[in-house]
Amino acid sequence: MPLHDWTTLPGWDGLHQVWIVELLYWIKPRLPAGYRAYIGTTPTFAIGGPGNGRPDVGVRAWPDGNGAKTPPKSPTAASAKPSEEPDLEIAVATLEGDKALFVESRDRLIAAIELVSPRNKDRQSACAAYTSTYAGYLLKGVNLLLVDVHRRPLQFSFADQIAVELSLQEQAPCPAPFAMSYRVGESAPNGGRFLAVWRRPLAFGEPLPSVQLPLSVDESIVVDLEQSYTRAAAAAYLT
């Protein structure tokens, strides 16, 4: 099925849930012995927004007896009681982890498949946090298949940001939509580890490609994105 342009099309959340399940159905029977695939929640990191941006928190002060807002007071041991109203109530914005597909062996995470959602990059703090999450897989030795079918924001690409984080100067720019496959390899002679990268630019209105999900240096699974996307789109009433 041709890839939809999700810039204005509704229904991504439903498709995301079904697509990750279809990917699980595709992968499980193709895993070598000793591997297990399951669906879990993307690990999230503390939000560290840029210094010149506004923090993702909302602060509410409590009114005094005359209805005026009062600044927070330093609590004392004598006055602090569970029944009293708080001096400050803060709503902290957190990143809701998407569902992702994980492959493990001997209780060790081996590989992950992440389908990027628009909210993963709808503000600077989200871009930074999810870049850390995706790059964090690789830094921890976990192979990664990252699929982003959302072209906005036009000036941002997780593939490019991961390249910056990991100092992959040789990687050409890869704007969304794309499918990126990363294999963490052996130790390099001068320190660090080898990282193999497969770039698959996607195009709206065109079929999706098949891509590798590395399990190790010697083992991998070919993932049919087209078949799994077609099944998910049919289940989400997009066909």
Query: Looking at the structure, do residues 98 and 198 belong to the same domain, yes or no?
Result: yes
Average pLDDT over residues 192-206: 94
Average pLDDT over residues 80-85: 60
| Least confident interval from 65-69, 154-158, 181-185, 189-193 | 65-69
Query: Looking at the structure, do residues 61 and 108 belong to the same domain, yes or no?
Result: no
Query: Looking at the structure, do residues 32 and 115 belong to the same domain, yes or no?
Result: yes
CB 68 within 8 A of CB 53: no
Please report, as a single letter, which amino acid is at residue 205: G
| Rounded Cα–Cα distance for residues 49 and 2 (Å) | 36
| Rounded Cα–Cα distance for residues 127 and 3 (Å) | 23
pLDDT at 21 over 70: yes
pLDDT at 83 over 90: no
Query: Looking at the structure, do residues 195 and 150 belong to the same domain, yes or no?
Result: yes
Query: Looking at the structure, do residues 143 and 173 belong to the same domain, yes or no?
Result: yes
Helix (H) or strand (E) holding 159: helix 158-165
Please report, as a single letter, which amino acid is at residue 168: L
Query: Looking at the structure, do residues 221 and 139 belong to the same domain, yes or no?
Result: yes
**Which residue range forms the structural domain that includes residue 85?**
57-92
What pLDDT score does 189 carry?
86
Q: Is residue 1 part of a domain?
A: no
What pLDDT score does 171 carry?
87
Q: Is residue 2 part of a domain?
A: no
**The two three-digit tokens of residue 34, written as one number:** 């000793």
pLDDT at 70 over 80: no
Query: Looking at the structure, do residues 29 and 67 belong to the same domain, yes or no?
Result: no
Number of domains in the chain: 2
Q: Is residue 6 part of a domain?
A: no
Query: Looking at the structure, do residues 45 and 61 belong to the same domain, yes or no?
Result: no
Q: Is residue 4 part of a domain?
A: no
Query: Looking at the structure, do residues 216 and 194 belong to the same domain, yes or no?
Result: yes
Instruction: Give phi and psi for 14, each to the nearest 5.
Output: -65, -45
| Strand duo 210-214 + 193-201: pairing | unpaired
pLDDT at 97 over 90: no
Query: Looking at the structure, do residues 153 and 164 belong to the same domain, yes or no?
Result: yes
| Rounded Cα–Cα distance for residues 44 and 67 (Å) | 39
What pLDDT score does 82 carry?
54
pLDDT at 48 over 80: no
Q: Is residue 189 part of a domain?
A: yes
What pLDDT score does 111 carry?
98
Of 96, 149, 158, which is closest to residue 121 (Cα–Cα)? 158
Give whole-number Cα distances, 166 to 170, 182, 225, in Å: 11, 12, 26
**The two three-digit tokens of residue 103, written as one number:** 């492959």
What pLDDT score does 187 carry?
86
pLDDT tens, residue by residue, 98-151 = 899 999 999 999 999 999 999 999 999 999 999 999 999 999 999 999 999 999
| Rounded Cα–Cα distance for residues 20 and 96 (Å) | 16
**The two three-digit tokens of residue 75, written as one number:** 């609590």
Q: Is residue 7 part of a domain?
A: no
Query: Looking at the structure, do residues 47 and 65 belong to the same domain, yes or no?
Result: no
Q: Does the pTM of the predicted model rise above 0.75?
A: yes
Query: Looking at the structure, do residues 103 and 174 belong to the same domain, yes or no?
Result: yes
Q: Is residue 23 part of a domain?
A: yes
Q: How many helices (H) and strands (E) does the chain have?
A: 4, 10
What pLDDT score does 89 carry?
63
Of 183, 42, 12, 30, which is closest to residue 102 (Cα–Cα)? 42
Of 210, 185, 209, which is closest to residue 197 (Cα–Cα)? 185
Q: Is residue 158 part of a domain?
A: yes
| Strand duo 108-115 + 143-148: pairing | parallel
